[in-house]
């Protein structure tokens, strides 16, 4: 149906570049975006292997934080948190000002039992994004997991200071 039609159009856009006599930067960006969008559709459709290939194609054409983050989602769903963290490091490197990459990276560390790295990432995120309560909440959850209730309470209180409506 519509999904198949959309994927066929995106595939045509991905394959247009190699037929051009010279590929411009805007053409490669368009092709990379088409591959990434195809991957996002396949991800929603639970076609993980095909989505992974699309994101890898996108990255070969033009590196983007979104493609790295989507690969991380696939690896995380497979329980490969080390690979997920590596992809999220790339996303963070490309777009350091996007808090979501940092939060997902901290989550990948935590789920991969690298709690010290998760704590370090969250502490850095708290400094960089002082008006967002989410890293404080996540840090509180990590401290709870560590059975450090004093630090957990402190993190949750910091979150409430930032967003009192969460009480």
pLDDT at 3 over 90: no
CA distance 164 to 167: 6
Per-residue pLDDT tens over the stretch 56-101: 999 998 899 999 999 999 999 999 999 999 999 999 999 999 999 9
Per-residue pLDDT tens over the stretch 4-49: 666 666 565 565 555 554 556 667 778 888 888 888 888 888 899 9
Per-residue pLDDT tens over the stretch 90-126: 999 999 999 999 999 999 999 999 999 999 999 999 9
């Amino acid at each position: 149906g519509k999904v198949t039609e959309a994927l066929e159009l995106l595939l045509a856009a991905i394959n247009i570049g190699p037929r051009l006599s010279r590929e411009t930067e805007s053409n490669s960006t368009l092709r990379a975006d088409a591959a990434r969008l195809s991957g996002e559709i396949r991800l929603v459709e639970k076609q993980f292997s095909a989505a992974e290939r699309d994101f890898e194609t996108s990255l070969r054409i033009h590196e983007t934080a979104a493609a790295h983050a989507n690969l991380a989602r696939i690896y995380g769903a497979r329980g490969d948190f080390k690979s997920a963290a590596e992809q999220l490091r790339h996303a963070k490197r490309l777009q350091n000002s996007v808090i979501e990459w940092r939060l997902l990276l901290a989550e990948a560390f935590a789920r991969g039992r690298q709690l010290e790295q998760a704590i370090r990432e969250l502490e850095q995120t708290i400094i960089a994004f002082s008006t967002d309560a989410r890293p404080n909440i996540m840090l509180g959850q990590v401290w709870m997991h560590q059975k450090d209730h004093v630090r957990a309470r402190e993190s949750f209180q910091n979150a409430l200071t930032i967003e009192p409506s969460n009480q």
